[in-house]
Amino acid sequence: MHEIKHYLNGEHVAGTSGRFADVFNPATGDVIAKVPLASASEMDQAVKFAGAAQPAWAAMNPQRRARVMMKMVDLLHRDMDKLAEALSKEHGKTLPDAKGDVIRGLEVVEYCIGAPQLLKGEYTDGAGPGIDMYSMKQPLGVTAGVTPFNFPAMIPMWMFAPALAAGNAFILKPSERNPTVPIMLAELFEEAGLPKGVLQVVNGDKEAVDAIIQHPVIQSIGFVGSTPIAEYIYGNGCAAGKRVQAFGGAKNHAIIMPDADMDQVVDALIGAGYGAAGERCMAISVAVPVGEDTADRLIAALAPRVESLKIGPYTSEDDVDFGPVITPEAKRKILGLVDSGVEQGAELVVDGRNFSLQGYENGNFVGACLFDNVTTDMDIYKTEIFGPVLSTVRAKTYEEAVGMTMDHEYGNGTAIFTRDGDTARDFASRINVGMVGVNVPIPVPLAYHTFGGWKKSAFGDLNQHGPDAFKFYTRTKTVTSRWPSGTKEGADFSIPTMG
Ligand code: NAD
């Protein structure tokens, strides 16, 4: 069986901890590889390589670092098919969706070509007599990131592209479910001109993550994954003196107003609710039609579309809408929650629980499910299901729809469908959610804006990509200088002011 390695200092290095995890093809259930789970000493080795490589990389002028980003963009386009194939094999998502995963990461690499501009400091000429004041943005040093299974190309690139462009070294601990693509990305970066040791991939589980948290040389941790782990890494990382940004789970509501274009709504909910089998942190998992008539029209239009969704492996000859979920445990969790919804009194309008695909009986396929008459006290409403399940909660009024979205513990994304500008504007202004769509179901901001949720969906002050990423991966230093330095004013014991 294929043994995946760590990627340390430009070499593929076998794991030495003796611990491994199986990597599966989620469509067939076959074990396709084993991945080593690093010990603290393997992490320490990576940190030593990173520490040795980082100063020369940081000393390279930003325009030359930007050229590495430019070249990386070309290489990502060149290897797009190869990357998508490897990604789909370990994740299960369709090939077009896998390419989207790579492209949304590539767009952040493109943004980082602007590093020379983004890293410019500020200057005040003549802040006082003979005094100038300037600030500079300097890299943190050795930085690290921990990423989830659901975007194995995009999220690593969201972290390491700005980290590297800013002059840091970066150690990635990718999801142990699909480690192949992150290693391919690190190889491509070196082909693009990145010096060895500046970007490394250390595979592992909690032990490797704890080694990152505790390592005194690592300056920052970027995390994306479930909320309990985000809270763990944020709390412990901050306590260890590191700069941490940690992004967690979601339960994204779509509010459907009575005046919404129902055809557009149904298309939007089908894509955003069931694409990637619902395994997206920006998936719409709750539909909130306002008024009984809106709800009846929505369910009547949505149910046949959900029933006719095509589910299959990424290798299928036919067009497939979505693939399997990641693991048998994820499948069990999703089916258990659907059962609980039925037991707690929700109406399962489309029941995908018994879906099976001939020839893929051991795959983790879950049929699309649609619930109506869900209430906010039910587990299927409160919990992030992370599967192809859309829950409909009927609201009597706009205020009730807004209130339930506001009261939910998660605040990653939300959307409103309406033709009324006043309502849309009020919603965007009042809602306590980080990313808002107006007639747009998955409002993932583009690379030059920033991405991040509110409430239990994100911990830390700065968002991912956009200008925030360059703030996260740099420190500001402000210099006050006086020339000529020989001015004699005598000692002054009061605090300096310019008054
Ligand atoms: P996960 O939390 O299980 O794992 C994420 C990472 O944390 C992995 O690298 C894993 O190895 C590591 N990890 C797991 N358990 C750990 C522990 N006990 N201690 C330390 N590290 C641990 O998440 P997942 O299942 O890979 O991904 C799905 C989750 O990610 C969903 O909740 C989804 O909403 C969330 N997500 C959020 C965003 C966002 O931007 N907010 C984006 C994508 C995914």
Closest residue (by CA) to atom 16 of ligand 1? 206
Residue 254 Cα to ligand 1 middle (Å)? 24
State the angle between helix axes of 80-91 and 62-78 in degrees (0 to 180), rounded to the nearest 10.
70
What was the pLDDT predicted at 338?
A: 98
Q: What is the CATH code for 2-248+457-479? A: 3.40.605.10
Ligand 1 proximity of 205 Cβ (cutoff 6 Å) = yes
Ligand 1 proximity of 132 Cβ (cutoff 6 Å) = no
Q: Rounded CA gap, 95 and 88, in Å?
A: 6
498 pLDDT exceeds 80?
no
Residue 494 Cα to ligand 1 middle (Å)? 52
Closest residue (by CA) to atom 15 of ligand 1? 206
Ligand 1 proximity of 35 Cβ (cutoff 6 Å) = no
Ligand 1 proximity of 49 Cβ (cutoff 6 Å) = no
What was the pLDDT predicted at 483?
A: 87
- Does the domain spanning 252-438 belong to CATH 2.140.10.10? no
> pLDDT tier at 494 (50, 70, 90 boundaries)?
confident
> pLDDT tier at 442 (50, 70, 90 boundaries)?
confident
- Residue 472: phi and psi, rounded to 5, are -65, -40
Closest residue (by CA) to atom 21 of ligand 1? 206
Given a contact cutoff of 8 angstroms between Cβ atoms, the answer to whether 98 and 314 are in contact is yes
Q: Residue ranges of the domains in the chain? A: 2-248+457-479, 252-438
| Tens digit of each residue's pLDDT (9 = 90 or more) over 469-488 | 999 999 999 999 998 766 66
Can you tell me the mean pLDDT for 364-374? 98
Closest residue (by CA) to atom 28 of ligand 1? 225
Residue 416 Cα to ligand 1 middle (Å)? 27
| Tens digit of each residue's pLDDT (9 = 90 or more) over 234-273 | 999 999 999 999 999 999 999 999 999 999 999 999 999 9
What was the pLDDT predicted at 486?
A: 65
Options 112, 238, 281, 369, the catalytic residue: 281
Q: Ligand 1: which of 154, 281, 329, 386 to mutate, most ligand atoms within 8 Å of CB? A: 281
DSSP 199-252: EEE---SHHHHHHHHH-TTEEEEEEES-HHHHHHHHHHHHHTT-EEEEE----E
496 pLDDT exceeds 80?
no
* Known active-site residue 112: no
Other CB atoms closer than 10 Å to residue 243's CB: what's the count?
18
499 pLDDT exceeds 90?
no
